[in-house]
Chain A
Amino acid sequence: MEGHKDRVIRTEGLFKVYDDGAVSLKAVNDVSLSIEKGEFTALVGPSGSGKTTLLNLIGGLDTPTAGKVWVHEKDISGLKKNQLIDFRLYNIGFVFQAYNLVPVLTARENIEFVMLLQKVGKEERNRRVDQLLGEIGLQDKAGKRPAELSGGQQQRVAVARALASKPQFVLADEPTANLDSKTAENLLDMMAKLNMDEGMTFLFSTHDQRVIDRAKRVITLVDGSIVSDVTREKTTIEA
């Protein structure tokens, strides 16, 4: 297939089948989609519709039963586990529902951690951590451990950690599920700003109407298949 300059993610005929011998379940059923740089996309659908599975396949956390995933036109479906780990390190940022910060590290260290894995120099690390702490508005909490931060603050740190590696895109799995309304709004404001200012590509799996309302594109999954794919002119709330 011909390359596309701004295409970040592309899947074609993607299947993920869970088969325990007695029951066969198609969690992802023939999904083909393409996501361009700078998109702010929400994957929506009822529970069990395959949102998270699709996110995991795109993020290289899981391997498809059939079909392919390209990230910046690189086919990651055939990569081995170790290659996928390295690929994720340099290309994909993850934000999880339960924040999943390292509890023994401070906010600053959690953000810095991924850059240490990338062997980024100390000066560059410090500069980038300071910048990200500024963007998420937690400079004064830099030395705090996750247990000393609120849920919203932890999720902000998680977003900063996802961005610290300068990924091609960020995959966020139900990032607002554990947050109250105000905190969720603040977090979404922050991510929308990063999307607009830095052109960072975000792909969410979500049930949250607030996320859906802000998404520029909403892809709906039912029983593992895409049933609608709507692109909006602009988000409903300005970042």
Chain B
Amino acid sequence: MLLAIAWKNIWRNKTRSLVVITAVMLGLWAGAFILAYVFGMINQRLEDAIGNEISHLQLHHEEFYKDYAPKFYLENGEKVLEGLDSNPRVKASTGRVLTYGMVGSAANSTGGKFIGIDPTREDQVTQLSTKLTEGEYLQRSDKNKILIGKKLADKLKVKLRSKIVLTFQDINGDIVAGAFRIKGIFRSYNTALEENNLYALDQDLSRLLNAQHQVHEIAVLLQDEEQVDEYARDLSQQYPTARVESWKEISPELGLMVESLDQYMMIFFVIILLALSFGIVNTMLMAVLERVREIGMLMAIGMNKVRLFGMIAFETIFMVLIATPLGLLLAYLTIYWFGMNGLDLSGLYQEGYAAYGFKSIIYPQLDAMYYYRIMLLVGITALLASIYPAITALRLDPVKAIRKI
């Protein structure tokens, strides 16, 4: 009976109840969509970073990070790569020759990161060839050909087939320089990568460095992301002179972002629910105060405090229960649609997003777990929001309440 009365009471003032239901529904929809948007953006960034830039694991010489000196190459790099090739947990791996220096054209010069690659292996790990917008990808038979980012090309005022000069230190600390012809120009959603990275063949850079087929970095892409930590431990044991790092260590800001995102998003959602709860409390208070006489009568004829509290609480819970599935369904449909088609913000924020390494087309995504969490949070909110109006009803003096006009 309490449930029936509570249900009927909701519809006494349809407009007011519908306003609250709509507010909760829209709040949930917006909150869930923002969660999905941020998760989609971060997951995309993570996938891009792993799939296109840093991979799951990287191996370097123990001292490479000290000053990025080319003399700190990996011992037995080729054997390590062979070992990785035969491991079923590894999807792809590649070795890189790395050095930093100046890149100059006839018009300009700037600093850059020069990456010597095995074109086939590199493409398997970072899909570099797919990012070319002009020219062609490197071939093993090329000599002194280079791939350059569009932003860097603009900065150097060079174009396809232009010649640029790379200047850097070799492994002995001597300054060396090499002229390279631009074979391809690539674009990246990551501005920093497009402005700094230049890709040449490993053999060309090794020759200039006076090194012999040594690599400074090995990037590993795994079949299963869940195995990153375990495989990193295995590799560390297997190659004790190498420094093995997971993507979280290579890009700690990304790891922190992913790990703390969950908490931040839930705090954000709680804030939305807190704001909604004030609206619910306000409406329920109005509902209680406009039927003071009736509540007084109910207390007079024998409705005890527990039942009265229950009646008011059920009214609140019912309104939220109506709004929750509608809001979440709306959110699910919106997230599903944009998850399939993408939310294209390139017209608005492309440059801004790219500056931080994010794509401007976002594919929102939200795990089922979050829908359950939201439902739980909404349930708690409804209960908490019902307390104050219910207590207000309980405080009524039946004698005064019955006489209330």
Interaction A to B = yes
Inter-subunit contact B301/A114 (CB<8 Å): yes
Inter-subunit contact B5/A117 (CB<8 Å): no
A113 CA / B305 CA spacing, docked (Å): 16
Does B176 sit within 8 A of A, measured CB to CB?
no
Neighbour of B302 across the interface among A62, A100, A114, CB < 8 A: A114
Contact flags A94-116 to B (C-beta < 8 A → 1, else 0): 10101010111100010001101
Does A26 sit within 8 A of B, measured CB to CB?
no
Does A196 sit within 8 A of B, measured CB to CB?
no
Contact flags A42-66 to B (C-beta < 8 A → 1, else 0): 0000000000000010010110000
Neighbour of A117 across the interface among B9, B297, B302, B398, CB < 8 A: B302
Does B380 sit within 8 A of A, measured CB to CB?
no
- Nearest neighbor of B305 in chain A, beta-carbon distance: A82
A residues 51-90 near B (Cβ < 8 Å) are 56, 59, 61-62, 82, 85-86, 88-90
A98 CA / B9 CA spacing, docked (Å): 20
A89 CA / B304 CA spacing, docked (Å): 9
Neighbour of B1 across the interface among A88, A89, A98, A113, CB < 8 A: A113
CB distance from A3 to the nearest CB of B (A): 25
B residues 1-58 near A (Cβ < 8 Å) are 1, 4-5, 8-9, 11-12
Interfacial chain B residues near A162, Cβ < 8 Å: 301
Interface size class of A (residues with CB under 8 A): 20 to 34
Does B399 sit within 8 A of A, measured CB to CB?
yes
- Nearest neighbor of A60 in chain B, beta-carbon distance: B300
Does B299 sit within 8 A of A, measured CB to CB?
yes
A103 CA / B13 CA spacing, docked (Å): 12
Does B294 sit within 8 A of A, measured CB to CB?
yes
Output the residue of A85, A90, A105 with the most chain B CB within 10 A. A85
A105-B8 contact in complex given A61-B398, A82-B305, A113-B1, C-beta closer than 8 Å: yes
- Nearest neighbor of B297 in chain A, beta-carbon distance: A100
Inter-subunit contact A117/B303 (CB<8 Å): yes
Inter-subunit contact B301/A61 (CB<8 Å): no
Does A10 sit within 8 A of B, measured CB to CB?
no
Inter-subunit contact A88/B300 (CB<8 Å): yes
A104-B302 contact in complex given A113-B1, A117-B307, C-beta closer than 8 Å: no
Does A41 sit within 8 A of B, measured CB to CB?
no
A161-B12 contact in complex given A100-B293, A104-B5, C-beta closer than 8 Å: no
Does B298 sit within 8 A of A, measured CB to CB?
yes
Neighbour of B5 across the interface among A62, A82, A96, A105, CB < 8 A: A105
Inter-subunit contact B1/A104 (CB<8 Å): no
A89-B301 contact in complex given A103-B12, A104-B12, A116-B1, C-beta closer than 8 Å: yes
Inter-subunit contact A103/B294 (CB<8 Å): yes
Interfacial chain A residues near B399, Cβ < 8 Å: 56, 61-62
A104-B8 contact in complex given A96-B402, A116-B1, C-beta closer than 8 Å: yes
Interfacial chain A residues near B9, Cβ < 8 Å: 104
Output the residue of B12, B303, B305 with the most chain A CB within 10 A. B303
CB distance from A27 to the nearest CB of B (A): 11
- Nearest neighbor of B405 in chain A, beta-carbon distance: A98
Inter-subunit contact B305/A85 (CB<8 Å): yes
Inter-subunit contact B402/A102 (CB<8 Å): no
Neighbour of A96 across the interface among B4, B8, B297, CB < 8 A: B297
Interfacial chain B residues near A85, Cβ < 8 Å: 299, 302-305
Inter-subunit contact B301/A161 (CB<8 Å): yes
A165 CA / B12 CA spacing, docked (Å): 27
A162 CA / B300 CA spacing, docked (Å): 11
Interfacial chain A residues near B398, Cβ < 8 Å: 61
Interfacial chain A residues near B294, Cβ < 8 Å: 100, 102-103
Interfacial chain B residues near A114, Cβ < 8 Å: 301-302
A residues with a Cβ closer than 8 A to B are 56, 59, 61-62, 82, 85-86, 88-90, 93-94, 96, 98, 100, 102-105, 109, 113-114, 116-118, 161-162, 165
19 A-B residue pairs with Cβ-Cβ distance under 8 Å, sorted by A, are: A56-B399, A61-B300, A61-B398, A82-B304, A88-B300, A88-B301, A90-B302, A98-B293, A100-B294, A100-B402, A102-B5, A102-B294, A102-B297, A104-B8, A117-B302, A117-B307, A118-B302, A162-B301, A165-B302
Top 6 nearest A-B pairs (CB, nearest first) are A89-B302, A104-B8, A100-B297, A116-B1, A85-B304, A88-B302
